Amino acid sequence: MPAPIRLRELIRTIRTARTQAEEREMIQKECAAIRSSFREEDNTYRCRNVAKLLYMHMLGYPAHFGQLECLKLIASQKFTDKRIGYLGAMLLLDERQDVHLLMTNCIKNDLNHSTQYVQGLALCTLGCMGSSEMCRDLAGEVEKLLKTSNSYLRKKAALCAVHVIRKVPELMEMFLPATKNLLNEKNHGVLHTSVVLLTEMCERSPDMLSHFRKLVPQLVRILKNLIMSGYSPEHDVSGISDPFLQVRILRLLRILGRNDDDSSEAMNDILAQVATNTETSKNVGNAILYETVLTIMDIKSESGLRVLAINILGRFLLNNDKNIRYVALTSLLKTVQTDHNAVQRHRSTIVDCLKDLDVSIKRRAMELSFALVNGNNIRGMMKELLYFLDSCEPEFKADCASGIFLAAEKYAPSKRWHIDTIMRVLTTAGSYVRDDAVPNLIQLITNSMEMHAYTVQKLYKAILGDYSQQPLVQVASWCMGEYGDLLISDQCEEEEPIQVTEEEVLDILENVLISNMSASVTRGYALTAIMKLSTRFTCTVNRIKKVVSIYGSSIDVELQQRAVEYNALFKKYDHMRSALLERMPVMEKVTTNGPTEIVQTNGETEPAVLETKPPPSGLQPTSQANDLLDLLGGNDITPVIPTAPTSKPASAGGELLDLLGDLSLTALVPAPQISQPPFLLDGLSSQPLFNDIAAGIPSITAYSKNGLKIEFTFERSNTNPSVTVITIQASNSTELDMTDFVFQAAVPKTFQLQLLSPSSSIIPAFNTGTITQVIKVLNPQKQQLRMRIKLTYNHKGSAMQDLAEVNNFPPQSWQ
C-alpha cells in the first residue's frame, strides 16, 4: 500500500474542491484510507493520519474513530507523535468519553519525563481538559512540579494547579505549601501564573484569603518595580513593562483589599501611582488603568482615590476609542450606586454617548442615564431620552419607554409635564410600550383632574390619523369615553381650542372598532368608551344605541358580551345608566381589592378599574383572580395568552436585567386583559377578596431540584407595608457539598429588590447545614409577587446553573 498522502498535500487537494459535495467526496475517500491504515496498526504513518484527521475535523467532519489513535501516539516515544497525539487528545477527546481516562497513565509518565518539552505537553493537556478523575489522580505530580526550580515547568504547573482546583476544589489545600516562595521568582512567566493561582485560591476560600493577605506588601513591591524599572525589552509593550502581569497583580490586590482596611491602606499609594503615571495613548495603558479603577472602587480606598478613579472613567468617556468608552460606561454603571455624585459630574458626556453608533455603547449609556436621572436634571435628561427614544433601534424602545415612565413618575416637576411626556412616549413609541403601562397611565390621568380637558384633546389629536399604536389608542379611547364631554365643549384654555363634535368623536371610536389594526383589547376599550358617551353626549345617543346593538352579534366573545350587556342597560336598566356610567373617581395609587371600591365602580367593565391593580400582562391569571371570578359566578373569562418574551441582548452590566428578559414582554402583541365580569349588580357580595393577614405568613418551597432545596419564609414590615422581607434557606440533600453557591433574583420592574449578603457560599451535604440570605422586596403597587431566580454552584466537580420562576408566593406576602 502506498504511503498515505502528506498533510499539506491533503490540505492543498481539499482546497481545490469547488463545491461542498466535491469536498465531501474527497474527505470520505481520505477517511476511508485513514481508517484502513489505522486497522493495519501502522506506526510510521499514524502521526500523519491523525494530523490529517484533525484538519478534517476542523472542517466539520466526524473524526471520533481517531480517538484511540491519539492515545497510541501519546504513548509513543517519538516527540512528534506525542505532539500530535496530545493535540489530537485536546481536540477530539473530552471528559464525556470514558476513553479519555486511558490517557491518565501516559500523562503521569510524561509528567516525569526527562525532556521538559514532553513534560510541558502533559501539563498543558492536563491543564486544558483534564477531568476531575484525572485531576485527582495526577494532582500529586502537579504539586511536585510546582516546586521545581525549572521555571519553564513551574509556570505550567501553576496553571495546571489552577485547573485542578477548578475541577476539584477540595484539592486546593494540598497546593498551599508549594505557594510559599512563588512570588520570590524573577521569572515573569512564573510570577504571572503564580498570581493567577493565588487569585484562584483566594477567590474560593476565605481562609486562603486571610492567609495570603500578608503578601500584599510583596505584591505592591513587584508592581512598583514594574512601573519604576527602566525599559525591559523582553517584557515591553508600547513602553509599559509586562502589562499582563500588572493587570493580574492589580486584580489580586483587589481581592485582597476588599473589606480589609489594612490591606487597602497598604496599596493606596501604588494605586495612586499607577493611576497617575500610566501612559494612556495606547490600549495597553488603558487596560491597566481600567483594572486599577476596578480595584480602587472595590477596596476600602480613601475618597480622594475614588474621585481619581471616577475621573479616569470620565476621561475614558471622551476617548476616541470606542472600546475604551464602552468599558468606561460598564464601570460607571457598576459604581453609580455607591458613588452617585461623582458619576453625576460626567452626566453630559454619558448622555452624548446615547448618540453613539455602537449598539452596546448606546445600551449602556441608556441604562446609566436612567440611573442618573433625579429631580434636578429631569427636564434636561428627559429631553435627551425622548430624543433617544425617537431615534433608537427597536430593541431599545420597550426598555427606554419603561424607563421614561418610571423616571417621569418619580421626578415629574408638574402634572402637565408628566402628561406631555407620557403623550410623547405614546406617540413616538406607542407600539413598544408595555401592557402594564396602559392602566398606569390611565390612573395617572384620572389623578390630574385639572388636566383632563387638555389631556383628552391631545389624545384625540394624536390618534386622529393613525390607529396603529395600540397602547396609545387604548389610552385615548378610554379618555375619550370618560372625558368626551370636555372634548366637545372645548373647555381647554391651554391649547388652541379645536372644535370637535359628538359625531366626530364617535367616528373615531367606531373607526377603532372597525379597523383591522385594532387588537381585541383595544376594541373593548373603544366599545366601552362609546357606551360611556351615551351619558355624556346629548345628540348622538341613538347612534350609540345602534353601534352597541350591532356588536351584540360580534364574533369576538368579549365584545359580544359587553355589547349584550350594554344593550340590556339601555333596555331594562335605563334608569341606572347615568349612575353607572358616571365620571370615575380618583383611583388610589396603592391599590387594594377592597369591597368598597367595587361598589363605587359598579357596572364598569374596564379591567383597569375593577381590578384596580394593573392586570399581570400576559402571564397566567393568578389563582387569586380566578377565585374572585368564581365568587362572582362563573362568567366567561377571556383566556389570557402569554405573549412571547422578547430576546433581550444579555447585558453584562446588569444581571438582573438579563434575568428579567423573560418577564418583560413586548407590547407588540398585547395580551388580552383579564376581564372582570361586567355585571356585579347580580349577587355582588361584599366579600373581602383577601384574607386578613393571619398571624404568620406560610412559607413556601421556592425551588427543589437535584438535591438543592430553597425555602422562602416571609415577614412584613410593620413600618412600611410595601416591604416584604424574604429569608431564603438553601439546603443540600446530596452526598457532596455544593460550593460557590450564588443566589440571584430578579423581579418585575415595578418592584425593587435588595439582596443582603448570604451567610456563606457552601451548602454542606446531607442537609447538615444551610445557607441563609435575606431579600427585601419593595412593592409599592401591591402587585402580585413574582420572581425569577438564578442559581449557580459547583457540585461534584462541575459547574451547575439553573434558572427558575417562583410563582407560588402566598398572597399575604404581597397584598
- Phi then psi for 480, rounded to 5 degrees? -65, -35
Binding part of the chain for other proteins, among 5-13, 456-464, 569-577, 771-779 by CB under 8 A, reads 5-13
Whole-angstrom distance, CA of residue 739 vs CA of residue 797: 10
Who contacts 334 (Cβ-Cβ below 8 Å, separation ≥6)?
297, 653
> CB of residue 405 vs other proteins: minimum separation in angstroms?
25
Q: Which is nearer to other proteins, 54 or 256 (CB)?
A: 54
Among 188, 434, 458, 786, binds other proteins (CB under 8 A): 188
Whole-angstrom distance, CA of residue 95 vs CA of residue 103: 11
Q: Which is nearer to other proteins, 349 or 443 (CB)?
A: 349
Hey, which residues between 126 and 185 contact other proteins (CB under 8 A)? Answer: 127-129, 131, 152, 155-156, 159-160, 162-163
Among 123, 135, 419, 473, binds other proteins (CB under 8 A): 123
Residue 688 burial (10 A CB sphere; 0-12, 13-18, 19+): exposed
Among 144, 224, 300, 322, binds other proteins (CB under 8 A): 322
Binding part of the chain for other proteins, among 89-97, 551-559, 755-763, 769-777 by CB under 8 A, reads 89-97
Whole-angstrom distance, CA of residue 800 vs CA of residue 120: 31
> CB of residue 25 vs other proteins: minimum separation in angstroms?
19
Q: Does 8 bind other proteins (CB under 8 A)?
A: yes
Q: Which is nearer to other proteins, 15 or 575 (CB)?
A: 15
Hey, which residues between 287 and 306 contact other proteins (CB under 8 A)? Answer: 287-288, 290-291, 294
Q: Please tell me the count of residues contacting other proteins according to CB under 8 A.
A: 79
Whole-angstrom distance, CA of residue 793 vs CA of residue 731: 12
Q: Does 196 bind other proteins (CB under 8 A)?
A: yes
Q: Is 606 in a helix, a strand, or coil?
A: coil
Among 142, 198, 297, 325, binds other proteins (CB under 8 A): 325
Q: Does 242 bind other proteins (CB under 8 A)?
A: yes
Q: Does 362 bind other proteins (CB under 8 A)?
A: no
Who contacts 489 (Cβ-Cβ below 8 Å, separation ≥6)?
none
> CB of residue 758 vs other proteins: minimum separation in angstroms?
18
Among 296, 361, 608, 775, binds other proteins (CB under 8 A): 361
Among 550, 652, 693, 756, binds other proteins (CB under 8 A): 652
Q: Which is nearer to other proteins, 109 or 323 (CB)?
A: 323
Hey, which residues between 365 and 404 contact other proteins (CB under 8 A)? Answer: none
Q: Does 85 bind other proteins (CB under 8 A)?
A: no
Angle at 486 between CA 482 and CA 489, to 5 degrees: 145
Among 31, 34, 71, 120, binds other proteins (CB under 8 A): 120
Q: How is residue 694 written as a grid cell?
A: 393571619
- Phi then psi for 748, rounded to 5 degrees? -60, 160
Among 251, 424, 543, 795, binds other proteins (CB under 8 A): 251
Q: How is residue 403 written as a grid cell?
A: 424607563
> CB of residue 332 vs other proteins: minimum separation in angstroms?
15
Q: Which is nearer to other proteins, 121 or 456 (CB)?
A: 121
Q: Does 204 bind other proteins (CB under 8 A)?
A: no
Q: Does 795 bind other proteins (CB under 8 A)?
A: no
Q: Which is nearer to other proteins, 27 or 361 (CB)?
A: 361
Binding part of the chain for other proteins, among 8-16, 32-40, 384-392, 433-441 by CB under 8 A, reads 8-16
Host H or E run for residue 576 = helix 574-580
What dihedral do alpha carbons 134, 137, 140, 142 form, nearest 10°? -20
Who contacts 779 (Cβ-Cβ below 8 Å, separation ≥6)?
722, 723, 724, 750, 751, 785, 814
Who contacts 467 (Cβ-Cβ below 8 Å, separation ≥6)?
473, 511, 512, 515, 517, 518
> CB of residue 286 vs other proteins: minimum separation in angstroms?
6
State the CB neighbour count (10 A cutoff) for residue 102. 16
> CB of residue 86 vs other proteins: minimum separation in angstroms?
9
From residue 44 to residue 73, the character string flagging contacts with other proteins as x (rule: CB under 8 A) and all else as - is x--xx--x--xx--xxx-------------
3-class DSSP string for 30-77: HHHHHHHHHHCCCCCCHHHHHHHHHHHHHHCCCCHHHHHHHHHHHHCC
Q: Which is nearer to other proteins, 80 or 578 (CB)?
A: 80
Among 594, 621, 649, 698, binds other proteins (CB under 8 A): 649
Binding part of the chain for other proteins, among 242-250, 271-279, 468-476, 586-594 by CB under 8 A, reads 242-250
Q: Which is nearer to other proteins, 100 or 749 (CB)?
A: 100
Q: Which is nearer to other proteins, 649 or 780 (CB)?
A: 649
Among 32, 117, 210, 276, binds other proteins (CB under 8 A): 117
Among 38, 175, 212, 326, binds other proteins (CB under 8 A): 326
> CB of residue 358 vs other proteins: minimum separation in angstroms?
5
- The one-letter amino acid code at 124 reads C
How far from 613 is each of 214, 562, 608, 780, CA to CA, in Å?
Answer: 57, 21, 7, 11
Whole-angstrom distance, CA of residue 518 vs CA of residue 444: 24
Q: Does 78 bind other proteins (CB under 8 A)?
A: yes
Host H or E run for residue 313 = helix 303-317
> CB of residue 233 vs other proteins: minimum separation in angstroms?
8
Among 22, 25, 36, 79, binds other proteins (CB under 8 A): 79
Q: Which is nearer to other proteins, 349 or 673 (CB)?
A: 349
Whole-angstrom distance, CA of residue 593 vs CA of residue 612: 7
Q: Does 358 bind other proteins (CB under 8 A)?
A: yes
Among 7, 146, 201, 313, binds other proteins (CB under 8 A): 7
Sheet of 738-746, strand order: 738-746, 787-795, 798-806
Binding part of the chain for other proteins, among 231-239, 474-482, 572-580, 753-761 by CB under 8 A, reads 231-239
Strand-pairing partners, residue 754, are 776
> CB of residue 520 vs other proteins: minimum separation in angstroms?
36
Among 103, 171, 247, 272, binds other proteins (CB under 8 A): 247
Angle at 250 between CA 247 and CA 256, to 5 degrees: 145
Q: Which is nearer to other proteins, 175 or 525 (CB)?
A: 175
Whole-angstrom distance, CA of residue 594 vs CA of residue 122: 72
Hey, which residues between 680 and 709 contact other proteins (CB under 8 A)? Answer: none
CB 493 within 8 A of CB 517: no
Among 556, 658, 740, 805, binds other proteins (CB under 8 A): 658
> CB of residue 242 vs other proteins: minimum separation in angstroms?
5
CB 3 within 8 A of CB 47: no
Hey, which residues between 735 and 754 contact other proteins (CB under 8 A)? Answer: none
Whole-angstrom distance, CA of residue 220 vs CA of residue 253: 8
CB 328 within 8 A of CB 358: no
Hey, which residues between 402 and 461 contact other proteins (CB under 8 A)? Answer: none
Please list the helix, strand and coil fractions of the chain in percent, rounded to the nearest 5, in that order.
Answer: 60, 10, 35
Residue (of 641, 613, 616, 797) closest to 722 by Cα position = 613
